[in-house]
Structure 1
Amino acid sequence: MTYRLLALNIDGTLLKSNHRLAKETKEAIDYVKEKGVYITIATGRAFPSAKKVAKALKLNNAFLVTHDGAYVASEVDNPIYERRLDSERVYQIVDILENYYCHVRLMHEKYAVGNKVRERNQLVARMNIGDPLFYPLSYVDSASHYLIDQPLTVPKIRAFFWNEKERKDALEEVREAVSDIHITSSAEGSLDIVDGSVSKAKGLQVLGKKLGISMNEMVSIGSYTNDIEMVAASGLGVAMGQGPQELKNIADWVTRSNNQNGVGYMVKEVFRKQFHPAVFK
C-alpha cells in the first residue's frame, strides 16, 4: 500500500509532554511532505489553536480536522465541513455539567467561553486546560446563565473534571438526557462533546473525498480515546506508546511515546521503507 496522507493528533502526539515540538518531529514531517504526502492535523483543539501548530510545521494552506472532526477548514471563515451543536443542546449539556465540579468550555471556531471554578475561595479555572489559547477566551460566572442571554451554537463543548467519579456521573447523565451527541475524551479528566455524526474519522473521510485520497491510503497517529475511530478507520492506524490500552488494541502499529520521538520513529519505519523499499529489504 502506498500511503498518500498523514494525519497527526497534536497533544501527546506531535507535542512532547512539555508542549514543545521536537526538532526530530519537524524533520520527519518535512521529509514526508517533500515526498508529496499530504500532511494534516486531526485534533480536539479549536481551529485557531490547530492553525498555530500547523504554521509551526509550515502547513500553511493545509486543511485541518479540528474540534474532534466537527470543523474541517484551511481558513476559519471557509470550512469544507462543519457540524455544530445547536443552541438547545448546548444549553442542555452546560446546564447539566454545571451541577458538577468542573470547568466547562464552549469551543467556538473563533473564540471560547468558559465558566469560573472556585475552590477554597481561590479561582482555579483561569488556566489553560489542555489547549494553549491562541484565540479570545471569556470567563463567566455561569455558562448556562450566559447562554440564556446569548444562545450559542458551537462545534464542541469540553469539560475538565478534577474527580473521576464526578466525571463518570456527569457522562452518564448527559448521555441519558441529551440526544444525538458523541462523547469522547482527549485527556485524563476530560469530556469532549460533539454532534452525534462527528468524529475525527468522519473529518478525514470528508478531507479525503476533497483530495481524492481514500481512507486506506491514510496513516493516522493518535494518543487518546478520541483518536480510536480515526486510528481504526485509516489504512495504517498508529497509537503512541504512552497511549491507553484500548487505543493500542485497535491500532495496526504502536510507535514510541511522544517523549521518545514517536512520530519521527514511525516515519522512519513506515514512510522511508515506502519511498526506498530496496534499501530496507
Structure 2
Amino acid sequence: MAYRLLALDIDGTLLKSNYRLTKETKEAIEYVKEKGVYITLASGRPFLSANKVAKTLKLSPSYLISHDGAFMADNVASPVFERRLSAETVYQIVDILENYHCHFRLFHEKYAIANKTKQKSQLISRMNLQLNDPLFYSTHYVESVSHRLIDQPLSVLNIRAQFWNDREREDAKEELQDTISGLRFIISNDGELHITDERASKATALQSLADRLGIKLTETVAIGSDERDLDMIAQAGLGVAMGHAPESVKSASDWLTRSNDQNGVGYMVKEVFRKQLRIEV
C-alpha cells in the first residue's frame, strides 16, 4: 500500500513535552515530503498557531486542520471547511460556564476571548505556551464574557474550559448537554473540556481534505495521542497512536509508535515509509 496523505497532531505528537520540535522530527517530515506525500497538521490549536508550526516544517502553503477539526484552510481568510458554533449557542454556553469555577476561552479563527481568573495552574500555563505570541494570535481577557457577547455577539469555532476539579467539570458538561443540543464534547488528556459543533471532528475534516485531493482514506496515515484524535485514527488507512496515548486511542489504532519524547514520529516514518517509492499527489 502506497500512502499519499499524512495527518499529524501537533501537541503530544509532533512536539515534545517541552513544546519543541526535534531535529529528528524535522528530518522525518522532510523524508516524507521527498516521497511525494501530502502532509497536513490536524490540531486542536487555532489555525494561526498551527500554521506557525507548519511554516517551521516548511509545509506552508498547505491545507491545515485546526480548532479540533472545525476549521480547514491554507489561509485564515479562505476556509474550505468550517463548522462554527453560532453566536446564540456561544452565548448559551458562556452563560452556563460562568456559573462554574473554570477558565475558558472562545476560539475565533483570528483571536480568542477568555475570562479573567485569579486561579493559576500548570494546565493554564501550558495552554498559554501554545498561544503566547500576540503577534499572530491574540487573547483578550475580559471580566464578564457574557456581557461582552451581549454587546458584541460572536460565532466561534471551538471553546475550551479548564476546571479546578473533575466533579465540577462533569456537572458543567451534564448541564450543557441537557440544555443545548448540537454540541460535541471531548475531554483531552490533560482534563480540559473541548466543545465544538457536533459536526466538527478531525475525522470529518480529514475526509473532506482527502476528497479535495482525490485521495482514498485507505491511502491516508493519521497520527495522534489524544481522545480528540481517536476518530481520525480509527478511519485512516493506517491509524497510528503515540506510545503515551490513552488506551482508548491505542485500541483504535493499527500501529503503535514511541512517545513524543522518544521521537515517536521519526520512528514511525522510518518504519512505514522507508520502502515506499516517490509518488505524485
TM-score for the superposition, normalised by structure 2: 0.93
1:231, 1:237 within 8 Å by CA — same for their partners in 2? yes
For the residue of structure 2 that corresponds to 1:273, the secondary structure is coil
Partner amino acid, structure 2, of 1:268: K
Judged with a 3 Å threshold, the aligned counterparts in structure 2 of structure 1 residues 172 and 29 are, in CA distance, closer, same or farther, namely same
Judged with a 3 Å threshold, the aligned counterparts in structure 2 of structure 1 residues 220 and 123 are, in CA distance, closer, same or farther, namely closer
Partner amino acid, structure 1, of 2:98: E
For the residue of structure 2 that corresponds to 1:129, the secondary structure is helix
Q: Which residue of 2 aligns with 1:30?
A: 30
Q: Which residue of 2 aligns with 1:203?
A: 205
2:124, 2:162 within 8 Å by CA — same for their partners in 1? no
Q: Which residue of 1 aligns with 2:275?
A: 273
Residue 94 (1) aligns with residue 103 (2)? no
Once the two structures are superposed, residues 219-270 of structure 1 have per-residue CA deviations (whole angstroms, 9 ceiling, x without a partner) of 0001100001100010001111011111111111111000000000000111
Q: Which residue of 2 aligns with 1:263?
A: 265
Q: Distance in 1 between matches of 2:23 and 2:5?
A: 21
For the residue of structure 2 that corresponds to 1:193, the secondary structure is strand
How many equivalent residue pairs? 274
What's the offset of the Cα at 1:275? 3.6
Q: Which residue of 1 aligns with 2:56?
A: 56
What's the offset of the Cα at 1:126? 7.9
Judged with a 3 Å threshold, the aligned counterparts in structure 2 of structure 1 residues 266 and 17 are, in CA distance, closer, same or farther, namely same
1:116, 1:123 within 8 Å by CA — same for their partners in 2? no
Identity, % of aligned positions: 59
For the residue of structure 1 that corresponds to 2:19, the secondary structure is coil
Q: Distance in 2 between matches of 1:166 and 1:48?
A: 31
For the residue of structure 2 that corresponds to 1:105, the secondary structure is strand
1:116, 1:126 within 8 Å by CA — same for their partners in 2? no
Q: Which residue of 2 aligns with 1:132?
A: 131
Q: Which residue of 1 aligns with 2:76?
A: 76
1:129, 1:160 within 8 Å by CA — same for their partners in 2? no
Once the two structures are superposed, residues 74-120 of structure 1 have per-residue CA deviations (whole angstroms, 9 ceiling, x without a partner) of 0000011111100111011111112111111000000000001124x
Spell out structure 1 runs of 4+ moving beyond 2 A: 122-128, 130-134, 273-276
Judged with a 3 Å threshold, the aligned counterparts in structure 2 of structure 1 residues 126 and 26 are, in CA distance, closer, same or farther, namely closer
Q: Which residue of 2 aligns with 1:46?
A: 46
Q: Distance in 1 between matches of 2:221 and 2:85?
A: 29
Partner amino acid, structure 2, of 1:60: S
Unpaired segments of 5 or more residues in structure 1?
277-281
Aligned partner of 1:253 among 255, 261, 264: 255
Q: Which residue of 2 aligns with 1:65?
A: 65
Q: Which residue of 2 aligns with 1:20?
A: 20
CA RMSD of aligned residues (A): 1.8
What's the offset of the Cα at 1:124? 9.4
1:160, 1:190 within 8 Å by CA — same for their partners in 2? yes
Q: Which residue of 1 aligns with 2:160?
A: 158
2:131, 2:137 within 8 Å by CA — same for their partners in 1? no
Q: Distance in 2 between matches of 1:81 and 1:137?
A: 24
TM-score for the superposition, normalised by structure 1: 0.93
For the residue of structure 2 that corresponds to 1:118, the secondary structure is coil
Partner amino acid, structure 1, of 2:240: V
